[in-house]
């Protein structure tokens, strides 16, 4: 699993929201993944029917929470008193943004800051050093949050009180960006010697088996050329991707996972060298085919379903960089 710097772990009652701030991905393994899939699972997939809905009294209590700080920076959350306890989960829009409207089909970039209702202790924030914003589908699965998020606009800030069992946690959810779901640009004719990439009925790229011997050098082939910002070393890059072996066997896909991936601090070693070299210099909106030789991938080490000395083939949609 990849190296990952995460904020202090939240308690288990925080359900999937805690995955953004919570336990470190995997300990004791410093081999970078081709894509850091351990940090790509932050989508809140909680069954909201299992969480009681906030009462009017709960919502009145939530309204007494003080949130200060400008948009785009870590907010300060001050509880009126502790312990702060709600009997159900509820959310309120603190401030709407002035950007694109969020629909039920949107992908949104999300910053989370949280405190423990028991004593007001800070539980962590994606604004903290070493953490990054995540990307969620707006239909997150947590109804109380979705009702506020859908119809709001890029730049919005939401206050969420999440009660489960005897625990209450308070979150500020910042939505700095609405992100396109796929690459958007001008089609580029690829080198015919490379694996053929088509698009399935579901809109997901399909990688055919390569023909002959794989290349021994890194290949970076744009399939769609975007015209957005250029990816630079140190950026946090939001992507969709599918990865396959040279024989076409798929071993990973953000589309299948239902979650885009944020590669934090490109160049820091959180992904294999072929990704770092291949993404740097590309533009947002692009779809890029990467053919990565073993020495820029996992070399002579087995990695899960990826055999040692494997050539890795990726199609990567670059959605945002910052």
Domain with 65, as residue range(s), is 56-178
- Is the previous residue joined to 83 through a cis bond, with omega within 30 degrees of 0? yes
Task: Kindly state whether residues 124 and 247 are assigned to the same domain.
Answer: no
Q: Would 12 be classed as within a structural domain?
A: no
Contact indicator for 48, 143 with CB cutoff of 8 Å: yes
CATH number at residue 197: 3.10.50.40
Domain boundary among 139, 162, 178: 178
Listed residue (94, 100, 93) closest to 153, CA to CA: 100
Q: Rounded CA gap, 150 and 119, in Å?
A: 31
Task: Kindly state whether residues 317 and 206 are assigned to the same domain.
Answer: yes
Q: Would 42 be classed as within a structural domain?
A: no
Q: Would 6 be classed as within a structural domain?
A: no
Listed residue (191, 223, 114, 103) closest to 158, CA to CA: 114
Task: Kindly state whether residues 110 and 218 are assigned to the same domain.
Answer: no
Task: Kindly state whether residues 212 and 144 are assigned to the same domain.
Answer: no
- Report which DSSP code applies to 39: G
What's the Cα-to-Cα distance from 318 to each of 70, 158, 239, 263, 313, rounded to whole Å? Answer: 28, 27, 5, 11, 16
Domain boundary among 145, 178, 211: 178
Task: Kindly state whether residues 238 and 312 are assigned to the same domain.
Answer: yes
φ, ψ at 278 (rounded to 5°): -75, -30
Tell me how many domains the chain contains.
Answer: 2
Task: Kindly state whether residues 111 and 70 are assigned to the same domain.
Answer: yes
Task: Kindly state whether residues 173 and 202 are assigned to the same domain.
Answer: no
Q: Would 38 be classed as within a structural domain?
A: no
Q: Would 44 be classed as within a structural domain?
A: no
Task: Kindly state whether residues 198 and 262 are assigned to the same domain.
Answer: yes
Write down the pLDDT at residue 25.
29
Q: Would 9 be classed as within a structural domain?
A: no
Listed residue (270, 191, 204) closest to 242, CA to CA: 204
Domain boundary among 158, 178, 198: 178
φ, ψ at 67 (rounded to 5°): -120, 125
Whole-number CA gyration radius for the chain: 21
Distance from CA of residue 99 to its chain's centroid? 20
Q: Would 35 be classed as within a structural domain?
A: no
Contact indicator for 284, 239 with CB cutoff of 8 Å: no
Task: Kindly state whether residues 194 and 247 are assigned to the same domain.
Answer: yes
Q: Rounded CA gap, 108 and 306, in Å?
A: 31
Q: Rounded CA gap, 242 and 314, in Å?
A: 6
Write down the pLDDT at residue 138.
87
Q: Would 138 be classed as within a structural domain?
A: yes
Q: Rounded CA gap, 228 and 89, in Å?
A: 39
Task: Kindly state whether residues 136 and 222 are assigned to the same domain.
Answer: no
Kindly list the averaged pLDDT for each block of 10 residues, start to end, along the chain of length 322.
28 40 36 44 47 95 97 95 97 97 92 95 90 84 91 97 91 94 95 97 96 98 98 96 98 91 92 97 98 98 96 98 92
Strand extents, DSSP E, the chain: 66-68, 76-78, 90-95, 107-116, 122-125, 134-137, 156-164, 167-179, 186-187, 197-199, 205-207, 219-225, 237-245, 250-253, 261-263, 287-292, 312-321
Task: Kindly state whether residues 145 and 190 are assigned to the same domain.
Answer: no
Question: pTM score, two decimals?
Answer: 0.78
Task: Kindly state whether residues 149 and 210 are assigned to the same domain.
Answer: no
């Amino acid at each position: 699993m990849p190296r990952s710097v995460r904020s202090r772990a939240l308690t288990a009652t925080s359900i999937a929201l805690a995955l953004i701030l919570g336990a470190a991905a995997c300990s004791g393994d410093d081999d970078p993944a081709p894509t850091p899939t351990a940090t790509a699972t932050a989508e809140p997939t909680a069954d909201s029917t299992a969480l009681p809905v906030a009462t009017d009294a709960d919502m009145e209590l939530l309204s007494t929470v003080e949130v200060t700080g400008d948009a785009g920076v870590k907010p300060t959350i001050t509880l009126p008193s502790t312990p702060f306890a709600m009997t159900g989960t509820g959310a309120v829009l603190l401030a709407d943004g002035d950007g694109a409207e969020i629909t039920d089909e949107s992908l949104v970039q999300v910053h989370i800051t949280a405190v423990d209702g028991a004593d007001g202790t800070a539980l962590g924030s994606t604004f903290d050093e070493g953490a990054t914003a995540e990307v969620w589908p707006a239909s997150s699965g947590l109804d109380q949050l979705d009702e506020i998020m859908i119809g709001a606009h890029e730049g919005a800030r939401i206050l969420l009180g999440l009660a489960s069992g005897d625990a209450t946690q308070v979150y500020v959810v910042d939505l700095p960006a609405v992100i396109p779901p796929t690459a958007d640009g001008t089609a580029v004719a690829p080198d015919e010697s490379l694996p053929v990439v088509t698009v399935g009925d579901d809109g997901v790229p399909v990688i055919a088996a390569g023909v002959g011997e794989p290349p021994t050098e890194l290949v970076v082939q744009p399939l769609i050329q975007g015209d957005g910002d250029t990816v630079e070393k140190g950026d946090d890059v939001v992507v969709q991707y599918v990865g396959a072996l040279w024989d076409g066997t798929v071993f990973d896909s953000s589309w299948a996972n239902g979650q885009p991936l944020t590669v934090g601090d490109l160049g820091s070693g959180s992904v294999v060298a072929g990704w770092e070299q291949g993404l740097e210099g590309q533009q947002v909106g692009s779809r890029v085919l990467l053919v990565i030789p073993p020495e820029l991938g996992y070399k002579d080490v087995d990695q899960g379903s990826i055999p040692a000395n494997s050539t890795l083939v990726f199609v990567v949609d670059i959605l945002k960089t910052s």
